[in-house]
A and B are shown apart, each in its own frame.
Chain A
Amino acid sequence: MMDAISPVLEVEDLCVSYGKVEALHHANIKVGAGQIVTVIGPNGAGKTTMLSAVMGLLPRSQGRIRFNGTDVGDAEVGVMVGYGVTLVPESRALFAEMSVEDNLLLGAFNRYRAGNRDQEQTKDEVFGIFPRLKERRNQYAGTLSGGERQMLALARALMAKPKVLMLDEPSLGLAPLIVREIFRVISSLKDTGVGILLVEQNARAALQVADYAYVLETGEIALEGLSKRLIDDPKVVESYLGLGGKQ
Protein backbone atom coordinates (compact mmCIF):
# COMPACT_ATOMS: atom_id res chain seq x y z
CA MET A 1 0.00 0.00 0.00
CA MET A 2 2.71 2.41 1.06
CA ASP A 3 4.85 1.62 -1.93
CA ALA A 4 2.33 3.17 -4.26
CA ILE A 5 3.64 6.66 -3.45
CA SER A 6 7.40 7.10 -3.34
CA PRO A 7 8.15 8.11 0.24
CA VAL A 8 9.72 11.50 0.99
CA LEU A 9 11.02 10.28 4.34
CA GLU A 10 12.17 6.75 5.04
CA VAL A 11 13.35 5.58 8.43
CA GLU A 12 15.09 2.25 8.21
CA ASP A 13 16.13 0.05 11.10
CA LEU A 14 16.58 3.05 13.40
CA CYS A 15 17.97 2.38 16.89
CA VAL A 16 18.65 4.89 19.65
CA SER A 17 20.38 4.25 22.97
CA TYR A 18 20.88 6.34 26.05
CA GLY A 19 24.15 4.95 27.38
CA LYS A 20 23.61 1.22 27.63
CA VAL A 21 19.88 1.57 27.57
CA GLU A 22 18.24 1.16 24.18
CA ALA A 23 15.15 3.33 23.84
CA LEU A 24 14.25 2.55 20.25
CA HIS A 25 14.75 -0.79 18.51
CA HIS A 26 14.87 -1.17 14.76
CA ALA A 27 12.09 1.19 13.81
CA ASN A 28 10.96 1.29 10.16
CA ILE A 29 8.70 4.10 9.06
CA LYS A 30 7.79 5.70 5.76
CA VAL A 31 6.09 9.01 5.07
CA GLY A 32 4.88 9.94 1.60
CA ALA A 33 4.32 13.43 0.22
CA GLY A 34 0.86 14.70 1.05
CA GLN A 35 0.37 11.92 3.50
CA ILE A 36 -0.30 11.95 7.23
CA VAL A 37 1.40 9.15 9.08
CA THR A 38 0.90 8.80 12.79
CA VAL A 39 2.89 7.05 15.46
CA ILE A 40 0.78 6.35 18.49
CA GLY A 41 1.56 4.54 21.70
CA PRO A 42 1.51 4.88 25.44
CA ASN A 43 3.78 7.20 27.38
CA GLY A 44 7.41 6.16 27.47
CA ALA A 45 7.13 4.03 24.34
CA GLY A 46 9.90 6.01 22.62
CA LYS A 47 7.86 8.25 20.34
CA THR A 48 9.67 11.48 21.19
CA THR A 49 13.01 9.67 21.06
CA MET A 50 12.22 8.58 17.53
CA LEU A 51 11.41 12.09 16.33
CA SER A 52 14.49 13.53 18.00
CA ALA A 53 16.68 10.93 16.34
CA VAL A 54 15.16 11.52 12.91
CA MET A 55 15.63 15.26 13.38
CA GLY A 56 19.26 14.78 14.40
CA LEU A 57 18.81 16.15 17.90
CA LEU A 58 19.89 12.77 19.25
CA PRO A 59 22.62 10.58 17.84
CA ARG A 60 21.33 7.54 15.98
CA SER A 61 23.12 4.41 17.10
CA GLN A 62 22.08 2.35 14.10
CA GLY A 63 19.92 2.59 11.00
CA ARG A 64 19.45 4.84 8.04
CA ILE A 65 17.31 7.84 7.20
CA ARG A 66 16.52 8.68 3.60
CA PHE A 67 15.14 11.95 2.39
CA ASN A 68 13.70 11.74 -1.15
CA GLY A 69 15.74 8.59 -1.60
CA THR A 70 19.06 10.15 -0.48
CA ASP A 71 20.77 8.78 2.60
CA VAL A 72 21.23 11.70 5.01
CA GLY A 73 24.05 9.94 6.85
CA ASP A 74 24.61 11.29 10.35
CA ALA A 75 23.20 14.69 9.46
CA GLU A 76 22.38 16.78 12.51
CA VAL A 77 19.58 19.31 13.02
CA GLY A 78 20.89 22.11 10.85
CA VAL A 79 21.31 19.82 7.86
CA MET A 80 17.90 18.23 8.36
CA VAL A 81 16.30 21.68 8.47
CA GLY A 82 18.13 22.41 5.24
CA TYR A 83 16.56 19.34 3.64
CA GLY A 84 13.13 20.65 4.57
CA VAL A 85 12.41 18.54 7.64
CA THR A 86 10.82 20.52 10.46
CA LEU A 87 9.95 19.40 13.96
CA VAL A 88 7.44 20.95 16.33
CA PRO A 89 8.59 19.57 19.67
CA GLU A 90 6.37 18.65 22.56
CA SER A 91 7.61 21.67 24.52
CA ARG A 92 6.73 23.93 21.53
CA ALA A 93 10.11 25.65 22.07
CA LEU A 94 8.77 29.13 21.34
CA PHE A 95 10.79 32.28 21.85
CA ALA A 96 8.80 33.54 24.80
CA GLU A 97 10.08 37.11 24.95
CA MET A 98 9.60 37.79 21.28
CA SER A 99 6.51 38.84 19.41
CA VAL A 100 4.38 36.39 17.47
CA GLU A 101 5.64 38.01 14.30
CA ASP A 102 9.29 37.63 15.21
CA ASN A 103 8.72 33.99 16.10
CA LEU A 104 7.25 33.48 12.66
CA LEU A 105 10.07 35.37 10.97
CA LEU A 106 12.62 33.10 12.66
CA GLY A 107 10.65 30.11 11.42
CA ALA A 108 11.85 31.18 7.99
CA PHE A 109 15.44 31.75 9.13
CA ASN A 110 16.90 28.90 7.15
CA ARG A 111 15.11 29.95 3.99
CA TYR A 112 16.30 33.51 4.52
CA ARG A 113 19.85 32.31 4.82
CA ALA A 114 19.45 30.31 1.65
CA GLY A 115 18.54 33.52 -0.15
CA ASN A 116 14.73 33.44 -0.16
CA ARG A 117 13.04 36.74 0.57
CA ASP A 118 9.39 35.71 0.43
CA GLN A 119 8.85 35.81 4.20
CA GLU A 120 6.12 38.44 4.14
CA GLN A 121 4.09 36.43 1.65
CA THR A 122 4.52 33.18 3.60
CA LYS A 123 3.52 35.02 6.73
CA ASP A 124 0.30 36.20 5.12
CA GLU A 125 -0.47 32.65 4.06
CA VAL A 126 0.15 31.41 7.58
CA PHE A 127 -2.00 34.17 9.03
CA GLY A 128 -4.69 32.98 6.64
CA ILE A 129 -4.59 29.58 8.31
CA PHE A 130 -4.41 31.00 11.84
CA PRO A 131 -6.34 34.29 11.89
CA ARG A 132 -6.07 34.35 15.68
CA LEU A 133 -2.30 34.74 15.42
CA LYS A 134 -2.73 37.74 13.17
CA GLU A 135 -4.76 39.44 15.90
CA ARG A 136 -1.95 38.73 18.33
CA ARG A 137 0.92 39.52 15.99
CA ASN A 138 2.57 42.06 18.30
CA GLN A 139 2.06 40.14 21.50
CA TYR A 140 4.91 38.24 23.17
CA ALA A 141 4.73 34.49 22.60
CA GLY A 142 5.03 33.95 26.35
CA THR A 143 1.71 35.71 26.95
CA LEU A 144 -0.32 33.45 24.66
CA SER A 145 -2.72 30.79 25.91
CA GLY A 146 -1.87 27.11 25.59
CA GLY A 147 -3.87 26.68 22.39
CA GLU A 148 -2.43 29.81 20.80
CA ARG A 149 1.05 28.64 21.65
CA GLN A 150 0.49 25.39 19.82
CA MET A 151 -0.91 27.31 16.86
CA LEU A 152 2.15 29.55 16.86
CA ALA A 153 4.47 26.55 17.04
CA LEU A 154 2.70 25.01 14.07
CA ALA A 155 2.60 28.31 12.19
CA ARG A 156 6.29 28.90 12.83
CA ALA A 157 7.07 25.46 11.43
CA LEU A 158 5.03 26.23 8.32
CA MET A 159 7.11 29.36 7.72
CA ALA A 160 9.94 27.01 6.77
CA LYS A 161 7.78 25.57 3.95
CA PRO A 162 8.66 22.07 5.05
CA LYS A 163 8.66 18.96 2.89
CA VAL A 164 8.25 16.84 6.01
CA LEU A 165 6.55 18.18 9.10
CA MET A 166 6.97 16.26 12.32
CA LEU A 167 4.59 17.04 15.15
CA ASP A 168 5.18 15.80 18.66
CA GLU A 169 1.98 15.59 20.70
CA PRO A 170 0.25 18.67 19.29
CA SER A 171 -2.81 17.99 21.44
CA LEU A 172 -0.87 17.82 24.69
CA GLY A 173 -2.61 19.64 27.51
CA LEU A 174 -5.13 21.33 25.21
CA ALA A 175 -8.87 21.55 25.66
CA PRO A 176 -11.00 19.45 23.26
CA LEU A 177 -12.21 22.41 21.24
CA ILE A 178 -8.69 23.52 20.49
CA VAL A 179 -7.55 19.98 19.77
CA ARG A 180 -10.25 19.84 17.14
CA GLU A 181 -9.05 23.12 15.60
CA ILE A 182 -5.43 21.95 15.49
CA PHE A 183 -6.34 18.65 13.92
CA ARG A 184 -8.49 20.39 11.36
CA VAL A 185 -5.46 22.41 10.32
CA ILE A 186 -3.23 19.35 10.25
CA SER A 187 -5.56 17.48 7.96
CA SER A 188 -5.95 20.51 5.69
CA LEU A 189 -2.17 20.68 5.26
CA LYS A 190 -2.25 17.42 3.34
CA ASP A 191 -3.33 19.27 0.21
CA THR A 192 -0.16 21.34 0.22
CA GLY A 193 1.84 18.20 -0.43
CA VAL A 194 3.77 18.18 2.85
CA GLY A 195 4.39 14.78 4.40
CA ILE A 196 3.31 14.78 8.04
CA LEU A 197 4.63 12.54 10.76
CA LEU A 198 2.33 12.92 13.72
CA VAL A 199 3.20 11.52 17.13
CA GLU A 200 0.23 11.39 19.43
CA GLN A 201 -1.05 9.98 22.63
CA ASN A 202 -4.53 11.08 21.71
CA ALA A 203 -4.92 7.98 19.58
CA ARG A 204 -8.43 8.49 18.28
CA ALA A 205 -7.85 12.00 17.06
CA ALA A 206 -4.62 10.92 15.40
CA LEU A 207 -6.17 7.89 13.72
CA GLN A 208 -9.03 9.98 12.43
CA VAL A 209 -6.79 12.35 10.52
CA ALA A 210 -4.01 9.95 9.51
CA ASP A 211 -3.71 7.77 6.44
CA TYR A 212 -1.38 5.25 7.95
CA ALA A 213 -0.42 4.45 11.53
CA TYR A 214 2.23 2.72 13.58
CA VAL A 215 1.75 1.65 17.18
CA LEU A 216 4.92 1.96 19.24
CA GLU A 217 5.27 -0.01 22.44
CA THR A 218 8.40 -0.06 24.64
CA GLY A 219 10.63 1.08 21.82
CA GLU A 220 9.31 -1.30 19.20
CA ILE A 221 6.72 -1.04 16.49
CA ALA A 222 4.08 -3.47 17.66
CA LEU A 223 1.48 -2.84 15.02
CA GLU A 224 1.06 -0.95 11.77
CA GLY A 225 -1.61 -0.53 9.17
CA LEU A 226 -4.11 1.78 7.57
CA SER A 227 -5.58 4.13 10.15
CA LYS A 228 -9.14 3.30 9.34
CA ARG A 229 -8.40 -0.33 10.14
CA LEU A 230 -6.49 0.35 13.32
CA ILE A 231 -9.13 2.68 14.67
CA ASP A 232 -11.38 -0.25 15.55
CA ASP A 233 -8.61 -2.67 16.36
CA PRO A 234 -9.15 -3.91 19.93
CA LYS A 235 -5.38 -4.30 20.32
CA VAL A 236 -4.93 -0.53 20.16
CA VAL A 237 -7.47 0.03 22.88
CA GLU A 238 -5.77 -2.64 24.91
CA SER A 239 -2.32 -1.18 24.63
CA TYR A 240 -3.68 2.09 26.02
CA LEU A 241 -6.12 1.10 28.68
CA GLY A 242 -5.12 -2.40 29.60
CA LEU A 243 -8.79 -3.26 29.35
CA GLY A 244 -7.89 -6.66 27.99
CA GLY A 245 -6.45 -9.55 29.94
CA LYS A 246 -5.89 -8.93 33.61
CA GLN A 247 -3.42 -11.17 35.32
Chain B
Amino acid sequence: MDLQIALLLGQDGITNGAIYALLSLALVLVFAVTRVIFIPQGEFVAFGALTLASFQAGKTPGTLWLLIGAGVAVALIDLSVALRAGHVRRIPRIVAWNLVYPAAAAALIFLVKPNEMPLLAQIVLSLALVVPLGPLTYRLAYQPLAEASVLVLLIVSVAVHLALVGLGLLFFGAEGSRTPAFSDGSIVIGSLTVTGQTLWVLGASLMLIVVLAVFFERTIYGKALRATAMNRTGARLMGISTVMAGKLSFLLASLIGAFSGILIAPITTIYYDTGFLIGLKGFVGAIVGALSSYPLAAAGALLVGLLESYSSFWASAFKEVIVFTLIIPVLVWLSLTTRHVEEEE
Protein backbone atom coordinates (compact mmCIF):
# COMPACT_ATOMS: atom_id res chain seq x y z
CA MET B 1 0.00 0.00 0.00
CA ASP B 2 1.44 3.35 -0.95
CA LEU B 3 0.59 6.70 0.56
CA GLN B 4 -1.88 7.48 -2.22
CA ILE B 5 -3.97 4.42 -1.46
CA ALA B 6 -3.62 4.90 2.27
CA LEU B 7 -5.00 8.41 2.00
CA LEU B 8 -7.78 7.28 -0.28
CA LEU B 9 -8.77 4.55 2.14
CA GLY B 10 -8.56 7.01 5.00
CA GLN B 11 -10.90 9.34 3.14
CA ASP B 12 -13.35 6.48 2.61
CA GLY B 13 -13.06 5.44 6.21
CA ILE B 14 -13.70 8.90 7.57
CA THR B 15 -16.66 9.41 5.25
CA ASN B 16 -18.30 6.19 6.36
CA GLY B 17 -17.18 6.79 9.92
CA ALA B 18 -18.97 10.13 9.96
CA ILE B 19 -22.20 8.38 9.01
CA TYR B 20 -21.66 5.69 11.65
CA ALA B 21 -20.97 8.43 14.16
CA LEU B 22 -24.30 10.09 13.40
CA LEU B 23 -26.08 6.79 13.83
CA SER B 24 -24.26 5.96 17.05
CA LEU B 25 -25.34 9.30 18.51
CA ALA B 26 -28.94 8.51 17.67
CA LEU B 27 -28.63 5.07 19.25
CA VAL B 28 -27.14 6.45 22.46
CA LEU B 29 -29.88 9.08 22.57
CA VAL B 30 -32.73 6.64 22.09
CA PHE B 31 -31.31 4.20 24.61
CA ALA B 32 -30.69 6.84 27.25
CA VAL B 33 -34.16 8.33 26.96
CA THR B 34 -36.33 5.27 26.34
CA ARG B 35 -34.11 2.26 27.21
CA VAL B 36 -34.86 0.99 23.70
CA ILE B 37 -31.96 -0.54 21.81
CA PHE B 38 -32.97 0.83 18.46
CA ILE B 39 -32.15 -1.97 16.04
CA PRO B 40 -34.47 -0.55 13.33
CA GLN B 41 -32.25 2.54 13.04
CA GLY B 42 -30.74 1.09 9.88
CA GLU B 43 -34.10 0.78 8.18
CA PHE B 44 -34.53 4.52 8.39
CA VAL B 45 -31.19 4.88 6.60
CA ALA B 46 -32.40 2.61 3.82
CA PHE B 47 -35.83 4.26 3.68
CA GLY B 48 -34.29 7.71 3.41
CA ALA B 49 -31.99 6.72 0.57
CA LEU B 50 -34.52 4.62 -1.31
CA THR B 51 -37.29 7.19 -1.01
CA LEU B 52 -35.02 9.78 -2.59
CA ALA B 53 -34.04 7.30 -5.28
CA SER B 54 -37.73 6.60 -6.00
CA PHE B 55 -38.45 10.27 -6.43
CA GLN B 56 -35.54 10.62 -8.82
CA ALA B 57 -36.73 7.64 -10.79
CA GLY B 58 -40.16 9.23 -11.07
CA LYS B 59 -41.83 6.58 -8.92
CA THR B 60 -44.08 6.99 -5.92
CA PRO B 61 -42.10 5.67 -2.95
CA GLY B 62 -43.79 2.97 -0.87
CA THR B 63 -42.90 4.86 2.29
CA LEU B 64 -45.80 7.15 1.43
CA TRP B 65 -48.21 4.24 1.84
CA LEU B 66 -46.48 3.28 5.08
CA LEU B 67 -46.86 6.83 6.37
CA ILE B 68 -50.55 6.83 5.50
CA GLY B 69 -51.10 3.35 6.97
CA ALA B 70 -49.26 4.08 10.21
CA GLY B 71 -51.02 7.43 10.48
CA VAL B 72 -54.44 5.80 10.14
CA ALA B 73 -53.51 3.12 12.71
CA VAL B 74 -52.27 5.67 15.23
CA ALA B 75 -55.28 7.90 14.60
CA LEU B 76 -57.68 5.01 15.23
CA ILE B 77 -55.95 4.03 18.48
CA ASP B 78 -55.51 7.55 19.80
CA LEU B 79 -59.03 8.61 18.83
CA SER B 80 -60.59 5.66 20.60
CA VAL B 81 -58.46 6.35 23.69
CA ALA B 82 -59.34 10.05 23.63
CA LEU B 83 -63.05 9.39 23.15
CA ARG B 84 -63.19 6.83 25.93
CA ALA B 85 -61.45 9.20 28.33
CA GLY B 86 -63.59 12.12 27.13
CA HIS B 87 -60.64 14.24 26.01
CA VAL B 88 -62.44 15.85 23.09
CA ARG B 89 -59.91 18.66 22.94
CA ARG B 90 -57.20 16.30 21.79
CA ILE B 91 -59.06 15.18 18.69
CA PRO B 92 -58.08 17.98 16.27
CA ARG B 93 -54.40 17.45 17.03
CA ILE B 94 -54.64 13.70 16.51
CA VAL B 95 -56.45 14.14 13.21
CA ALA B 96 -54.07 16.84 12.01
CA TRP B 97 -50.87 14.93 12.61
CA ASN B 98 -51.94 11.43 11.74
CA LEU B 99 -54.47 11.91 8.96
CA VAL B 100 -54.21 15.38 7.47
CA TYR B 101 -50.42 15.48 7.29
CA PRO B 102 -50.00 12.16 5.41
CA ALA B 103 -52.89 13.08 3.13
CA ALA B 104 -51.30 16.43 2.40
CA ALA B 105 -47.98 14.75 1.69
CA ALA B 106 -49.71 12.38 -0.72
CA ALA B 107 -51.52 15.23 -2.46
CA LEU B 108 -48.28 17.17 -2.82
CA ILE B 109 -46.46 14.23 -4.32
CA PHE B 110 -49.20 13.60 -6.84
CA LEU B 111 -49.56 17.26 -7.76
CA VAL B 112 -45.92 18.17 -8.28
CA LYS B 113 -43.52 16.06 -10.28
CA PRO B 114 -40.81 15.24 -7.76
CA ASN B 115 -38.38 13.93 -10.40
CA GLU B 116 -38.30 17.30 -12.07
CA MET B 117 -37.68 19.18 -8.85
CA PRO B 118 -34.26 20.33 -7.65
CA LEU B 119 -32.29 17.95 -5.46
CA LEU B 120 -32.82 19.97 -2.31
CA ALA B 121 -36.60 19.83 -2.71
CA GLN B 122 -36.42 16.07 -3.31
CA ILE B 123 -34.42 15.66 -0.12
CA VAL B 124 -36.86 17.72 1.91
CA LEU B 125 -39.75 15.73 0.49
CA SER B 126 -38.01 12.43 1.33
CA LEU B 127 -37.38 13.54 4.88
CA ALA B 128 -40.97 14.71 5.17
CA LEU B 129 -42.10 11.17 4.35
CA VAL B 130 -39.61 9.12 6.33
CA VAL B 131 -38.96 11.15 9.48
CA PRO B 132 -42.54 11.04 10.87
CA LEU B 133 -42.31 7.25 10.72
CA GLY B 134 -40.04 7.41 13.78
CA PRO B 135 -42.58 8.79 16.25
CA LEU B 136 -45.34 6.73 14.61
CA THR B 137 -43.28 3.58 15.20
CA TYR B 138 -42.77 4.61 18.79
CA ARG B 139 -46.49 5.11 19.24
CA LEU B 140 -47.48 1.79 17.70
CA ALA B 141 -44.76 -0.57 18.89
CA TYR B 142 -43.06 0.85 21.97
CA GLN B 143 -45.39 3.19 23.82
CA PRO B 144 -47.71 0.46 25.13
CA LEU B 145 -44.61 -1.28 26.51
CA ALA B 146 -42.80 1.78 27.84
CA GLU B 147 -42.52 0.29 31.32
CA ALA B 148 -41.29 -3.12 30.14
CA SER B 149 -37.75 -4.39 30.70
CA VAL B 150 -34.83 -3.58 28.38
CA LEU B 151 -35.02 -7.19 27.24
CA VAL B 152 -38.66 -7.01 26.13
CA LEU B 153 -38.01 -3.68 24.41
CA LEU B 154 -35.08 -5.26 22.60
CA ILE B 155 -37.27 -8.08 21.31
CA VAL B 156 -39.77 -5.47 20.12
CA SER B 157 -36.91 -3.69 18.33
CA VAL B 158 -35.97 -6.87 16.54
CA ALA B 159 -39.59 -7.45 15.56
CA VAL B 160 -39.94 -3.90 14.26
CA HIS B 161 -36.67 -4.28 12.38
CA LEU B 162 -37.93 -7.43 10.66
CA ALA B 163 -41.25 -5.87 9.76
CA LEU B 164 -39.58 -2.77 8.31
CA VAL B 165 -37.04 -4.77 6.31
CA GLY B 166 -39.88 -6.85 4.90
CA LEU B 167 -41.82 -3.71 4.04
CA GLY B 168 -38.68 -2.26 2.48
CA LEU B 169 -38.48 -5.27 0.19
CA LEU B 170 -42.13 -4.88 -0.68
CA PHE B 171 -41.85 -1.15 -1.42
CA PHE B 172 -38.51 -0.94 -3.16
CA GLY B 173 -37.89 -4.46 -4.44
CA ALA B 174 -34.67 -6.39 -4.20
CA GLU B 175 -32.84 -4.08 -6.60
CA GLY B 176 -30.36 -1.64 -5.14
CA SER B 177 -30.30 2.07 -5.93
CA ARG B 178 -27.69 4.75 -6.05
CA THR B 179 -28.45 8.43 -6.32
CA PRO B 180 -26.31 10.96 -8.19
CA ALA B 181 -23.70 12.85 -6.19
CA PHE B 182 -24.66 16.18 -4.68
CA SER B 183 -21.87 17.81 -6.61
CA ASP B 184 -19.42 16.63 -9.26
CA GLY B 185 -16.57 18.79 -8.12
CA SER B 186 -13.52 17.71 -6.23
CA ILE B 187 -10.58 19.29 -4.50
CA VAL B 188 -7.01 18.25 -4.98
CA ILE B 189 -4.85 18.48 -1.90
CA GLY B 190 -1.33 17.36 -2.66
CA SER B 191 -1.59 13.86 -4.03
CA LEU B 192 -5.09 13.37 -2.67
CA THR B 193 -8.29 14.07 -4.52
CA VAL B 194 -11.17 14.73 -2.18
CA THR B 195 -14.51 14.20 -3.87
CA GLY B 196 -17.35 16.64 -3.49
CA GLN B 197 -19.60 14.02 -1.94
CA THR B 198 -17.04 13.35 0.78
CA LEU B 199 -17.05 17.01 1.64
CA TRP B 200 -20.83 17.03 1.60
CA VAL B 201 -21.00 14.07 3.95
CA LEU B 202 -18.43 15.48 6.34
CA GLY B 203 -19.90 18.96 6.26
CA ALA B 204 -23.47 17.84 6.68
CA SER B 205 -22.57 15.40 9.49
CA LEU B 206 -20.67 18.07 11.31
CA MET B 207 -23.52 20.50 10.85
CA LEU B 208 -26.04 17.98 12.16
CA ILE B 209 -23.86 17.28 15.19
CA VAL B 210 -23.63 21.00 15.92
CA VAL B 211 -27.38 21.40 15.52
CA LEU B 212 -27.97 18.50 17.89
CA ALA B 213 -25.52 19.89 20.42
CA VAL B 214 -27.27 23.24 20.33
CA PHE B 215 -30.63 21.50 20.66
CA PHE B 216 -29.52 19.57 23.75
CA GLU B 217 -27.58 22.38 25.39
CA ARG B 218 -29.68 25.41 24.58
CA THR B 219 -33.33 24.48 24.16
CA ILE B 220 -35.77 23.51 26.87
CA TYR B 221 -36.98 20.49 24.90
CA GLY B 222 -33.43 19.27 24.45
CA LYS B 223 -32.83 19.69 28.16
CA ALA B 224 -36.08 17.89 28.88
CA LEU B 225 -34.83 14.91 26.88
CA ARG B 226 -31.55 14.87 28.78
CA ALA B 227 -33.46 15.15 32.03
CA THR B 228 -35.56 12.13 31.14
CA ALA B 229 -32.40 10.15 30.49
CA MET B 230 -30.95 11.16 33.86
CA ASN B 231 -33.97 10.77 36.08
CA ARG B 232 -37.20 9.50 34.62
CA THR B 233 -39.31 10.08 37.74
CA GLY B 234 -37.87 13.53 38.22
CA ALA B 235 -38.71 14.38 34.63
CA ARG B 236 -42.26 13.11 34.93
CA LEU B 237 -42.74 15.23 38.03
CA MET B 238 -41.81 18.29 35.97
CA GLY B 239 -44.52 17.39 33.48
CA ILE B 240 -42.10 15.97 30.90
CA SER B 241 -44.12 12.97 29.83
CA THR B 242 -42.45 9.70 28.96
CA VAL B 243 -44.52 9.55 25.79
CA MET B 244 -43.41 12.97 24.62
CA ALA B 245 -39.77 12.22 25.37
CA GLY B 246 -40.07 8.88 23.56
CA LYS B 247 -41.64 10.37 20.45
CA LEU B 248 -39.15 13.22 20.37
CA SER B 249 -36.14 10.95 20.66
CA PHE B 250 -37.54 8.68 17.94
CA LEU B 251 -38.15 11.72 15.78
CA LEU B 252 -34.50 12.71 16.13
CA ALA B 253 -33.35 9.15 15.49
CA SER B 254 -35.43 8.82 12.33
CA LEU B 255 -34.24 12.22 11.17
CA ILE B 256 -30.61 11.25 11.70
CA GLY B 257 -31.21 7.87 10.07
CA ALA B 258 -32.99 9.16 6.98
CA PHE B 259 -30.53 12.02 6.57
CA SER B 260 -27.58 9.63 6.81
CA GLY B 261 -29.18 7.45 4.17
CA ILE B 262 -29.55 10.40 1.83
CA LEU B 263 -25.91 11.36 2.42
CA ILE B 264 -24.44 7.98 1.57
CA ALA B 265 -26.81 7.04 -1.24
CA PRO B 266 -24.43 8.59 -3.81
CA ILE B 267 -21.45 6.66 -2.37
CA THR B 268 -22.83 3.19 -1.81
CA THR B 269 -25.56 1.26 -3.53
CA ILE B 270 -28.38 0.95 -1.02
CA TYR B 271 -30.58 -2.13 -0.96
CA TYR B 272 -33.70 -2.62 1.15
CA ASP B 273 -31.65 -4.48 3.78
CA THR B 274 -28.38 -2.52 3.61
CA GLY B 275 -29.43 -0.31 6.50
CA PHE B 276 -29.13 -3.06 9.03
CA LEU B 277 -25.39 -3.55 8.63
CA ILE B 278 -24.81 0.19 8.52
CA GLY B 279 -26.87 0.62 11.68
CA LEU B 280 -24.97 -2.18 13.40
CA LYS B 281 -21.69 -0.46 12.70
CA GLY B 282 -23.14 2.58 14.40
CA PHE B 283 -23.89 0.19 17.24
CA VAL B 284 -20.30 -0.92 17.50
CA GLY B 285 -19.46 2.75 17.92
CA ALA B 286 -22.17 3.16 20.53
CA ILE B 287 -20.84 0.16 22.44
CA VAL B 288 -17.39 1.72 22.43
CA GLY B 289 -19.10 4.62 24.17
CA ALA B 290 -20.68 2.12 26.58
CA LEU B 291 -24.09 3.27 25.32
CA SER B 292 -23.81 6.41 27.38
CA SER B 293 -21.04 8.72 26.16
CA TYR B 294 -21.68 10.74 23.00
CA PRO B 295 -18.09 11.75 22.22
CA LEU B 296 -16.76 8.23 22.84
CA ALA B 297 -19.49 6.77 20.66
CA ALA B 298 -18.63 9.15 17.84
CA ALA B 299 -14.92 8.37 18.17
CA GLY B 300 -15.67 4.66 18.19
CA ALA B 301 -17.79 5.03 15.08
CA LEU B 302 -14.99 6.84 13.25
CA LEU B 303 -12.65 4.05 14.25
CA VAL B 304 -15.11 1.53 12.83
CA GLY B 305 -15.17 3.43 9.55
CA LEU B 306 -11.38 3.49 9.28
CA LEU B 307 -11.02 -0.14 10.30
CA GLU B 308 -13.57 -1.16 7.73
CA SER B 309 -11.93 0.83 5.02
CA TYR B 310 -8.41 -0.48 5.63
CA SER B 311 -9.51 -4.07 6.16
CA SER B 312 -11.41 -3.96 2.87
CA PHE B 313 -8.03 -3.39 1.28
CA TRP B 314 -6.12 -6.09 3.13
CA ALA B 315 -8.78 -8.75 3.46
CA SER B 316 -11.91 -7.58 1.76
CA ALA B 317 -13.82 -10.83 2.26
CA PHE B 318 -13.32 -10.60 6.00
CA LYS B 319 -13.95 -6.91 6.53
CA GLU B 320 -17.27 -7.51 8.32
CA VAL B 321 -15.68 -10.13 10.53
CA ILE B 322 -12.90 -7.72 11.47
CA VAL B 323 -15.26 -4.83 12.16
CA PHE B 324 -17.55 -6.87 14.37
CA THR B 325 -14.75 -8.51 16.29
CA LEU B 326 -13.68 -5.00 17.27
CA ILE B 327 -16.29 -5.11 19.98
CA ILE B 328 -14.52 -8.04 21.67
CA PRO B 329 -11.62 -5.97 23.05
CA VAL B 330 -14.12 -3.26 23.95
CA LEU B 331 -16.20 -5.76 25.88
CA VAL B 332 -13.10 -7.09 27.60
CA TRP B 333 -12.19 -3.58 28.64
CA LEU B 334 -15.72 -2.83 29.82
CA SER B 335 -15.98 -6.06 31.78
CA LEU B 336 -12.64 -5.43 33.48
CA THR B 337 -13.54 -1.88 34.46
CA THR B 338 -17.14 -2.49 35.52
CA ARG B 339 -17.52 -4.04 38.93
CA HIS B 340 -21.09 -4.12 39.99
CA VAL B 341 -23.74 -6.76 40.35
CA GLU B 342 -26.63 -5.25 38.54
CA GLU B 343 -30.21 -5.85 39.56
CA GLU B 344 -32.31 -5.96 36.45
CA GLU B 345 -35.73 -4.41 36.46
A and B touch in the complex (CB under 8 A): yes
CB-nearest residue of chain A relative to B239?
A110
Most chain A CB inside 10 Å of its own CB: which residue of B227, B235, B238? B238
B226-239 vs A, Cβ < 8 Å mask (1 yes, 0 no): 11001101111111
**10 A-B interface contacts by CB (under 8 A):** A77-B236, A78-B241, A81-B239, A93-B231, A94-B234, A95-B227, A95-B231, A95-B234, A98-B230, A112-B220
B240 at interface by CB-CB < 8 Å: yes
**Complex formed: what's the CA distance from A32 to B41 in Å?**
51
Cross-chain contact A106 with B227 (CB below 8 angstroms): yes
Task: Give the number of residue pairs across the A-B interface with Cβ within 8 Å.
Answer: 64
Q: Which residues of B contact A97 (CB under 8 A)?
A: 226, 230
Residues in chain A within 8 A of chain B (CB atoms): 55, 57, 77-78, 81-82, 86-87, 89, 91-98, 102, 105-107, 109-110, 112-113, 156, 160
In the bound complex, residues from chain A placing their C-beta under 8 Å from that of B227 are: 95, 98, 106
Closest to A52 in B: B233
Are A96 and B238 in contact, CB atoms less than 8 angstroms apart?
no
Is A86 a contact of B230 with CB atoms below 8 Å?
no
B144 shortest CB reach to chain A, Å: 15
Contacts of B59 in A (CB 8 A): none
Q: Does B223 contact A (CB under 8 A)?
A: yes
CB distance from B291 to the nearest CB of A (A): 16
Cβ-defined contact, B233 with A160, below 8 A:
no
Besides A105-B220, A160-B239, 16 other A-B contacts (C-beta < 8 A)? A57-B233, A77-B236, A78-B236, A81-B237, A82-B239, A89-B234, A93-B237, A94-B231, A94-B234, A97-B230, A98-B227, A98-B230, A105-B223, A106-B227, A109-B224, A113-B239
B230 touches A109 (CB 8 A): no
A89 to B234, CA, bound (A): 8
**Which residue of chain A has the shortest Cβ distance to B231 in the bound complex?**
A93
Q: What's the nearest-Cβ distance from chain A to residue B170, in Å?
A: 38
A106 to B229, CA, bound (A): 13
Q: Are A106 and B230 within 8 A (Cβ)?
A: no
Give the complex CA separation of A87 and B236 in angstroms: 10
Instruction: With CB as the reference atom, state the residue of chain B lying closest to A78.
Output: B241
Q: Are B233 and A106 in contact (CB under 8 A)?
A: no
Instruction: Output the least CB separation between B241 and chain A (Å).
Output: 5
